[in-house]
Structure 1
Amino acid sequence: MSYPWKNMSPKDGFMVRQNALLSDMDQKILTFLYQPLIGATAYSLYMTLWTEIGEESYWSEGILHSELLTLLNVGIPELYQARIKLEAIGLLKSYLQTDPEKLYVYELLAPQSSAVFFNDDLLSLLLFETIGERKFRNLRSRFVVAPLNKEKFQDVTKSFLDVYRFDAELFKQEKALLKEPVELVGATQPEGPTIDAQTFDFKFFYTGLNSHYINRSAITKDLEKTILVLHTMYGINELAMQRYILEASDMETGNIDERKLKNVVYHDYHKNNQKNVQLQDVVEKDIQVDQKQQKVRENDLKQQGLSEDEIKIIEVSEQISPYDFMTSIKDQKGGYVTKNEEWTLEEILRKANLPSSVVNILIHYILVARDNPIFEKALAYKISNDWAQNKVFSPEMALQKVKKMYSENAEKQQTVKKQYGNQRQTNYGKPVKTRTETLPEWAKEGNTAKAEQPMSEAEKQAFMERLKKIQNFGKEGD
């Protein structure tokens, strides 16, 4: 199964754009009204993006997603989940550029005002269902302003022309300047969440109402939105909605009482359902499935006899693209990826037809296990050719190949020691050499072969620290 967050990498850059001026009241609305709907992680993401924006520039500097993952202490799936929650609720728009480099732009949108929020059927009903009636009333009271009794006061406010005068001719001269097309912060009005009407057949719904006394003109566009919200939240089909509309209608005028419609739907639903309506995040289920699959795979690898460290290597190899994997290792070693290494990697990926995870094991073997300063071309070609020919199509198979190379190289060193240790002089003063077994041709890594010894505890600890860094601050990547 392909998960959408697999296309994101901690190495991907992003910038934040502020679409509207955000005030202290906006922050209060976000905290008390939006946070119960979107959750703590999405709320933290919004506030973190907000703090990245420079003063009076309304744009942030370029940032890596890895920084977000560290600040929020989440992985790529959870970051993606938080992002789309903000998008769905109308607080964020996301844009992606792929050429010449991958770059996201996150545009922060202002929340709705408290008046709009509580008058919006979808937002207010979702909040009501999420926190319950008592808490809903308490929260709403935070934004209620005491009315002014205007009967006791006289309005003495001055109008504009009572206070100011201006030169009409000068206004005409500067009219062109005033109409220059510029995009000003705060010019865009906040957008609330929208619901797709595809699941509700309004044509069938209206056909059923024609036989009743309902005044068709009484169902306004706003009432249609309410009907769609009730259909979406409570699962009411077209026939049931006709019945509720009739119940909320005035028999004499044919008009519909929207408040009554909401009440009858709400009470009818909760008469048969003890629990409040729960927002079901579609990504949450995918994340749980992905985590379950990872757990099953981890158990399978343990049954194959792999150690915790080896399983960790495999997991990281499956999460990060080969280029990012190589770059991470080079960064930690204080080096850099050369053009020749890039070309070598590209050619192996193109010609060997090996999975990215297998190529990552190859990179790890050459740069970490052998501690080579570069991704050695000849060695990389030899091993990738062998793995392609032997159908090494999983990281665990590649790791077994690596372990075999360790064993063969250790055997080779032992043979060499025995060979020179057993030399003896003949009567003629010439050395006699013992016979040695030959290794497979591809495993003879030429004069550049480096003797491999088992890692010490200190080296092992350093390796695990490096592996954590390669994992790159998050739990998922490419």
Structure 2
Amino acid sequence: MGYPWKNLSPKDGFLVKQNALLSDIDQKILTFLYQPLIGTAAYSLYMTLWTEIEEEKYWSEGILHSELLTVLNIGIPELYQARIKLEAIGLLKTYVQTDTTKLTIYELQAPQTSEVFFKDDLLSLLLLERVGERKFKNLRKRFIVEKIDKQKFQEITKSFLDVFQFDAELLKREKELLKEPVSYIGKTANSNPKVDPKTFDLKFFYSGLNQQYINRSSITKEIEETILVLHTLYGLDELTMQQFILNASDIETGTIDEKKLKKLVYDDYHNKNQQNISLKDVVEKDIQIDVNQQKTRENDLMKKGLTKEDIAVIEVSEQISPYDFMNSIKEQKGGFVTKPEEWTLEEIVKKANLPTAVINILIHYILVVKNNPTLDQKLAYKIANDWAQEKVVAPEEAIQKVKKMYLENAEKKQQQENRNKTYTQNRSKGNYNNQTTIRKETLPDWAKAENNQMEEKPMSEEEKQAFMERLKRIQNFGKEGE
């Protein structure tokens, strides 16, 4: 199963753009009205993106997603989940650069005004369901402004022409300048979340109403949208909705009271149900499935004899490119990737036909297990050839190969030490003529090359812990930060 957040890497960059400056009232609307709908993670994401833009600027500097994950203290799946919630509610638009460089633009949208929010059926009903009737009324009260009693006061406001005069001829001459197509900062058209359910047959619904006293013209576009919202939230079918429409209509005029309609549906639902409706997050289930699959795979790998450190390396190897993997190891060791190493890696990727994760295990073996300072070209080519010919297609297979190589090298090293010891002892006794000829083991080419490398040196516990922390930051198991 493919998960959309798998396409996002902590090393991918992004920019933030805003079309309107947020005011104090906008922040209050986001906090009190939107946050109950989108949750704390999405709310934090919006506010964090907003603070990335400096004052009096409308674009942020380039930022890595790893920095965003660190600030929010969440993982890639949760970031994706928070992002699409903002998109669905009309607070964010996302653009992805289509050329070879991976770059995302997050364009912040201003929240609706409080008046529009409470008049919007979907937003207001969702808020009502989330916080309950008492809290809903209190929240609405926070944003209500008492009107001026115009019966007691007379307006004496001056008009523009009462105060200013201007040259009409000058305005005509500068007309073209004023029409230049530029984008200004300020309030832009907000986008409300919309519902367009294909499960509600409007044609059948209207055909049933035609037999009643309902005035068809009284079902305006706004009321039709309300009907679709009520159907979506409360699962009402066409026949049930017809009955609610009849109950909310004036029997003499055939007009429909929209507020009464919503109140009837709300009360009916809660008389029959003890709990509020809950929106099902389409990503939440996928995230849980992904987590369960990951746990199952970890258990399977452990049954094959792999350690937690092996599994962590495997999981990281499956998530990032070989170059990023090698670069991350070099950074952790305080080094850098050289041009010959880039060429070596490019050649292996092009010709070996090995999966990305397997190539990463090869890199890990040479740079970490063997603790080589660079990706030795001769050794890398020979191991890649061996694995390609033996059809190594999974990182766990590559890890097992690495372990086998390590054990074989350790055994051969011990045998060589024993032979050297025997030779020294025989020589010291003067038994040169009776000395048994020592047969040299015949090894594969890549193993010969390996034995010419520096001595096998397992990582210390401190080095192992440091590398595991680096892996976790790359994989975003932990959170990047010094």
| TM-score, with length taken from structure 1 | 0.94
Pairing 1:31-430 to 2, within 5 Å after superposition: 31-423=31-423, 424-425=426-427
Take 1:168 and 1:28, find their aligned partners in 2: how far apart are those partners? 43
AA partner of residue 382 (structure 1): K
SS at match of 1:358: helix
Deviation at 1:142, TM superposition (A): 1.1
AA partner of residue 299 (structure 2): N
**Greater shift in the superposed pair: 113-122 or 151-160:** 151-160
**Greater shift in the superposed pair: 447-456 or 14-23:** 447-456
Take 1:246 and 1:343, find their aligned partners in 2: how far apart are those partners? 75
1:365 to 1:344, Cα distance in 2 relative to 1, 3 A: same
Take 1:269 and 1:314, find their aligned partners in 2: how far apart are those partners? 50
1:239 to 1:351, Cα distance in 2 relative to 1, 3 A: farther
Counting matched residue pairs gives 476
Deviation at 1:71, TM superposition (A): 0.4
AA partner of residue 206 (structure 2): Y
Does residue 453 (structure 1) correspond to residue 457 (structure 2)? The answer is yes
Instruction: Determine if contact 1:419/1:433 at 8 Å carries over to the other structure.
Output: no
Pairing 1:12-31 to 2, within 5 Å after superposition: 12-31=12-31
AA partner of residue 463 (structure 2): E
Deviation at 1:440, TM superposition (A): 3.7
Taking only the aligned residue pairs, the percentage that are identical comes to 70
Take 1:342 and 1:81, find their aligned partners in 2: how far apart are those partners? 35
Instruction: Determine if contact 1:70/1:473 at 8 Å carries over to the other structure.
Output: no
Take 1:472 and 1:138, find their aligned partners in 2: how far apart are those partners? 40
Take 2:4 and 2:384, find their aligned partners in 1: how far apart are those partners? 30
Structure of higher RCO (CA pairs closer than 8 Å, 6+ residues apart): 1
AA partner of residue 445 (structure 1): A
Instruction: Determine if contact 2:249/2:255 at 8 Å carries over to the other structure.
Output: yes
In structure 2, the partner of 1:10 is 10
Instruction: Determine if contact 2:379/2:450 at 8 Å carries over to the other structure.
Output: no
CA offsets 1:349-373 (integer angstroms, 9 cap, x no match):
3443333222221111112112223
Unaligned runs of 5+ in 2: none
Deviation at 1:295, TM superposition (A): 1.5
AA partner of residue 104 (structure 1): T
Deviation at 1:244, TM superposition (A): 1.8
**Greater shift in the superposed pair: 273-282 or 431-440:** 431-440
Take 2:472 and 2:267, find their aligned partners in 1: how far apart are those partners? 53
Deviation at 1:66, TM superposition (A): 0.4
Does residue 443 (structure 1) correspond to residue 447 (structure 2)? The answer is yes
Deviation at 1:247, TM superposition (A): 2.1
SS at match of 1:255: coil
CA offsets 1:282-314 (integer angstroms, 9 cap, x no match):
111111111111122222222223222222222
Instruction: Determine if contact 1:357/1:394 at 8 Å carries over to the other structure.
Output: yes
Take 1:97 and 1:461, find their aligned partners in 2: how far apart are those partners? 37
**Greater shift in the superposed pair: 61-70 or 212-221:** 212-221
1:343 to 1:231, Cα distance in 2 relative to 1, 3 A: farther
Deviation at 1:212, TM superposition (A): 2.3
Take 1:95 and 1:407, find their aligned partners in 2: how far apart are those partners? 50
Take 1:311 and 1:444, find their aligned partners in 2: how far apart are those partners? 29
1:420 to 1:125, Cα distance in 2 relative to 1, 3 A: same
**Greater shift in the superposed pair: 224-233 or 323-332:** 323-332
Deviation at 1:411, TM superposition (A): 1.3
1:86 to 1:106, Cα distance in 2 relative to 1, 3 A: same
Deviation at 1:332, TM superposition (A): 2.3
Deviation at 1:405, TM superposition (A): 1.0
Take 1:88 and 1:347, find their aligned partners in 2: how far apart are those partners? 44
Take 1:330 and 1:439, find their aligned partners in 2: how far apart are those partners? 30
CA offsets 1:105-134 (integer angstroms, 9 cap, x no match):
000000001111111100000000011111
AA partner of residue 165 (structure 1): Q
AA partner of residue 78 (structure 1): E
Take 2:332 and 2:432, find their aligned partners in 1: how far apart are those partners? 57
SS at match of 1:59: coil
Deviation at 1:401, TM superposition (A): 1.0
What is the RMSD computed on CA atoms of the aligned residues? Answer: 2.2
**Greater shift in the superposed pair: 403-412 or 249-258:** 249-258
1:78 to 1:356, Cα distance in 2 relative to 1, 3 A: same
Instruction: Determine if contact 1:76/1:475 at 8 Å carries over to the other structure.
Output: no
CA offsets 1:249-307 (integer angstroms, 9 cap, x no match):
22222211111211221122222221101121111111111111112222222222322
AA partner of residue 159 (structure 2): S
Instruction: Determine if contact 1:413/1:451 at 8 Å carries over to the other structure.
Output: no
Take 2:141 and 2:123, find their aligned partners in 1: how far apart are those partners? 16
Deviation at 1:448, TM superposition (A): 3.8
SS at match of 1:312: helix
Deviation at 1:100, TM superposition (A): 4.0
Instruction: Determine if contact 1:14/1:105 at 8 Å carries over to the other structure.
Output: yes
1:243 to 1:303, Cα distance in 2 relative to 1, 3 A: same
AA partner of residue 327 (structure 1): N
Take 2:245 and 2:342, find their aligned partners in 1: how far apart are those partners? 66
**Greater shift in the superposed pair: 11-20 or 368-377:** 368-377
SS at match of 1:445: helix
Take 2:341 and 2:64, find their aligned partners in 1: how far apart are those partners? 23
1:139 to 1:414, Cα distance in 2 relative to 1, 3 A: same
1:428 to 1:393, Cα distance in 2 relative to 1, 3 A: closer
**Greater shift in the superposed pair: 456-465 or 94-103:** 456-465
SS at match of 1:14: strand
Take 2:397 and 2:77, find their aligned partners in 1: how far apart are those partners? 27
**Greater shift in the superposed pair: 350-359 or 392-401:** 350-359
AA partner of residue 225 (structure 2): K
Unaligned runs of 5+ in 1: none
SS at match of 1:199: coil
**Greater shift in the superposed pair: 78-87 or 147-156:** 147-156
Take 1:237 and 1:409, find their aligned partners in 2: how far apart are those partners? 72
1:93 to 1:474, Cα distance in 2 relative to 1, 3 A: farther
**Greater shift in the superposed pair: 149-158 or 347-356:** 347-356
